[in-house]
Structure 1
Amino acid sequence: MSRYEFPAKEGLSTLVIGWDRPLNTFFVQVFGPAPVAGADPVEVEWQGTSPCKLPTAAHALRVARIYADLPDNLGQVLETDRLSTLGIADGLAQIALRIFITRHDRPPET
């Protein structure tokens, strides 16, 4: 897993972007300021929480650039992170968690 943190645009506090190998997705988290001193920041956006949701760095950057000014080479850095994890096998806990997430990430049937 990789994780990079950047200051977000005005009115927000932080943007986090990275690669999650077990879920085979990039992710983007955006936080606003804490509502009161000492509280956790408010989550504004979180994408890449299910398998293959953001399959390329370009997908993640498309979301992230709405919220923060990012380095020009970040896409290359993120893809390098992804490529460096190729061939790494999941452990039993990761396999079980992926099955759990996949089953619970579907909308209820009507």
Structure 2
Amino acid sequence: MSRHDLQPKGDQPHVVRATVGWDRPLQTFFAQVFFRTEDEPADGEALIWFGTAPGELLTPEAVIAIVEPHVTIPPGLVDILNAEMRATIGVKDGTHQAHAKRSIFGSIH
């Protein structure tokens, strides 16, 4: 799994950060945007969260479109995310990952 924390834009004081990355076991990119809440003023709470289902977000562009209104996107992030995804091609689930997928999703795909 890869993970990149992104900083909020200056006009987004309610946003703490966003996180994007590649989840190899689920074969999806993921995006989270953390907003300040009364219960979590410093760390924020992930009120936007995509990429929790297998194959939900298939391109870096899709994941960036979710977080772009809230955070600054560093140059080259699309290429980095693509490279992280390609680096996992052919990597198979371990015994525990396969068991968990069968339990949660009914399949290992």
Question: Structure 1 residues 37 and 94, CA, compared in 2 at 3 Å: closer, same or farther?
Answer: closer
* Residue in structure 1 matched with residue 53 of structure 2 by the alignment: 50
**Root-mean-square deviation over aligned CA pairs:** 1.9
Q: How many residues align?
A: 103
How many angstroms does 1:17 deviate by? 0.4
* Residue in structure 2 matched with residue 7 of structure 1 by the alignment: 7
Q: Could you tell me whether the CA contact under 8 Å between 2:22 and 2:84 is conserved in 1?
A: yes
CA distance in 1, matches of 2:56, 2:40: 34
Please list every run of 5 or more consecutive structure 2 residues that lacks an aligned counterpart in the other structure.
none
TM-score (normalizing by structure 1)? 0.83
Could you report, residue by residue, the CA deviation over 1:4-46 in whole angstroms, capped at 9, with x for unpaired residues? 0011231210100000000000000110125257875222111
Higher deviation after alignment, 92-101 or 2-11: 92-101
CA distance in 1, matches of 2:8, 2:34: 8
Q: Secondary structure at the match of 2:85?
A: helix
* Residue in structure 1 matched with residue 103 of structure 2 by the alignment: 100
Please list every run of 5 or more consecutive structure 1 residues that lacks an aligned counterpart in the other structure.
104-110
* Residue in structure 1 matched with residue 66 of structure 2 by the alignment: 63
The amino acid that maps onto 1:43 is A
TM-score (normalizing by structure 2)? 0.83
* Residue in structure 2 matched with residue 83 of structure 1 by the alignment: 86
**Overall identity of the aligned pairs, in %:** 32
